Structure 1
Amino acid sequence: MMRAAGIWGRRVGAALAVTGMALPLSVAFGAPAQAASCTTKAGPDQKKVEKFLGRPVDGKQSTGDCHAIRNFQTSHGISPAIGYAGPVTWGVMDLINHQKAAGSNPNKAKNCPTNKGRIACVDLTRQLSWIQDGSKLKFGPVPVRTGRNGYETRTGSKKIYWRDINHVSSVYNVAMPYSQFFDGGEAFHSIAGSVWSPPGSHGCVNMRKSDAKKYWSLLRNGDDVYVYGRKPGT
């Protein structure tokens, strides 16, 4: 049976898992959600969130702060989108910072094998994936959304064994475009919502459509996949 298809540090990861479990499907899959009221309360991560968004860093919640935070929450599938600068919102921002820091050398630490030719690498810790050939980067890195707590994406060496461009999950009855399966029901595929929305997938490596489409064009059955690290909060 096919399984359809974060954030830094254990405490933040746990908060993401708890809050994300209540994420409405309308938000998780990109449908418009009803607008929520904007909170006047400053959150525990107010200053860090303000700095990330380029707002005045004073630790005080303003109307402008709230609207900027709420816009970020809405676009990244964070619920409730009320403009509160809490650990879930900061966790996503911090993850994005780490993803940006990877730059054009995501395998600097050599965690993904460089002796297998073409290989798709998945770093669960940074929620990043890329395709390399030996030590040469061919595409990426791109942000991904892997398995939530209890549905962790399995680590280790794998191979793509089945591709289905218009796959629909028989378990969850959701579309999984550009599916490339590499471990049981776990696959690369695109989703309609944000790849940053907590708490995560049911084991698959979720991707933005343009990235999943590029993976489809670059990978073939038999190509290697290597998954390593640990998604915070799992």
Structure 2
Amino acid sequence: MSRTGRSTAALVLAVALAVLCGCTVRAPDAAGGKQRSPVHIRLPGGRASGPAPAPTAADVLWARGDSGTDVRELQARLRQIGWLFDGPTGTYDDLTEQAVKGFQRKRGLPRTGRTDTVTWRRLIGMTHTPGTWELYLMGGQPAAAPDPRCLTGRVLCISKTSRTLRWMVDGRTVSTMAVRFGSRYSPTREGVFHIYWKSRHHVSTLYDSPMPYAMFFSGGQAVHYSYDFAARGYAGGSHGCVNVRDEAAIAAVFAQVRNGDKVVVYG
């Protein structure tokens, strides 16, 4: 059979197959034998599928102004790969938005600063699930249940497990704040104590460091505001004192606590 005859036979066979399966096929281009347009598959009911639909924009999960545990995880993951240095705080602020923009730019994604589904999948693929320590690096973790010794009277109830301080009056929690403790070389003592001295503008004579709103409860150990804790979070530690990073919160407690009030430090 000649080349023309074989080509004609092939075309007839292709048309016959197309009729059987419900497809439409274009004749070969005279110049190069290539199809001029893609084959369109018929859907049930005889409706043509047509070209593939244009991709839709990724759904936005979180954006500036949002808050919650999901935002805290986002911030912890961004910290793992060096895009965020503050927090996690649980609030999608301007620093978080800038970090997301930087991550998106590096990966060739639209630089919106909003965390959409595509950005989130890429971030998850590059990081590990953050643990409690990473999620609450700068505080804000839920407070542990108060020790039974905290349920009567006026008490600074301090949990080493959750790293929180509750200011309690007659079993009611007035306020809660994040705290940090001494290192293993200078641990914060555990037990029941009482405030014996308050010093608003105290400076440590031993370490020459400021201890604003100091409330001493055991020797040289006190509850006080810490500039270092506010700046570095749990990356640092005290020399045995109970450090607070929220100045407004500790100022309010300092104004309410009296000499003789109880302090309970427990694991």
Please report the TM-score for the alignment, with normalisation by the length of structure 1. 0.57
Question: Offset at 1:116?
Answer: 3.1
The higher relative CO (CA closer than 8 Å, separation ≥ 6) is in 1
Could you give the per-residue CA deviations for residues 43-66 of structure 1, whole angstroms, max 9, x where no partner exists?
xxxxxx9981269x8xxx9x9953
Distance 2:138 2:210 in 1: 30
Residue 101, structure 1, aligned to residue 142, structure 2 = yes
Distance 1:225 1:153 in 2: 12
SS at match of 1:202: coil
Question: Offset at 1:72?
Answer: 4.0
Question: Offset at 1:191?
Answer: 1.2
1:66 maps to what in 2? 82
Question: Offset at 1:214?
Answer: 1.5
Alignment of structure 1 residues 118-129 onto 2, 5 Å: 118-129=154-165
2:238 maps to what in 1? 201
Q: 1:158 aligns with which of 182, 193, 198?
A: 193
2:73 maps to what in 1? 52
Distance 1:167 1:124 in 2: 24
Distance 2:150 2:71 in 1: 40
1:39 maps to what in 2? none
What is the aligned-residue RMSD (CA, Å)?
A: 3.6
Question: Offset at 1:161?
Answer: 0.1
2:179 maps to what in 1? 144
1:210 maps to what in 2? 248
Question: Offset at 1:150?
Answer: 1.2
Question: Offset at 1:184?
Answer: 0.3
Q: Structure 1 vs Structure 2: percent identity of aligned residues?
A: 28
Amino acid at match of 1:137: T
Query: In the alignment, is the contact (CA less than 8 A) between 2:179 and 2:244 conserved in 1?
Result: yes
Distance 2:234 2:249 in 1: 17
Q: Which runs of 5+ in 1 are unaligned?
A: 1-48, 74-83, 230-234
1:113 maps to what in 2? 149
Amino acid at match of 2:156: A
1:178 maps to what in 2? 213
Could you give the per-residue CA deviations for residues 4-25 of structure 1, whole angstroms, max 9, x where no partner exists?
xxxxxxxxxxxxxxxxxxxxxx
Distance 1:85 1:50 in 2: 15
Q: 1:188 aligns with which of 214, 223, 231?
A: 223
Residue 130, structure 1, aligned to residue 162, structure 2 = no
The number of aligned residues is 159
Query: In the alignment, is the contact (CA less than 8 A) between 1:176 and 1:191 conserved in 2?
Result: yes
Residue 223, structure 1, aligned to residue 248, structure 2 = no
Q: Kindly tell me: are residues 226 and 171 of structure 1, through their superposed partners in 2, closer, same or farther at Cα, counting changes over 3 Å?
A: same
Distance 2:205 2:139 in 1: 35
Residue 92, structure 1, aligned to residue 133, structure 2 = yes
Distance 1:72 1:223 in 2: 33
Q: Kindly tell me: are residues 71 and 85 of structure 1, through their superposed partners in 2, closer, same or farther at Cα, counting changes over 3 Å?
A: farther
Once the two structures are overlaid, the 10-residue window that deviates more, 181-190 or 92-101, is: 92-101
Query: In the alignment, is the contact (CA less than 8 A) between 1:119 and 1:132 conserved in 2?
Result: yes
Once the two structures are overlaid, the 10-residue window that deviates more, 110-119 or 154-163, is: 110-119
Amino acid at match of 2:191: G
Query: In the alignment, is the contact (CA less than 8 A) between 1:116 and 1:224 conserved in 2?
Result: no
Amino acid at match of 2:173: L
Question: Offset at 1:93?
Answer: 2.2
Q: Which runs of 5+ in 2 are unaligned?
A: 1-69, 89-125
Amino acid at match of 1:53: L
> Greater CA radius of gyration, 1 or 2?
2
Query: In the alignment, is the contact (CA less than 8 A) between 1:95 and 1:126 conserved in 2?
Result: no
Structure 1 runs of 4+ off > 6 angstroms?
A: 84-87
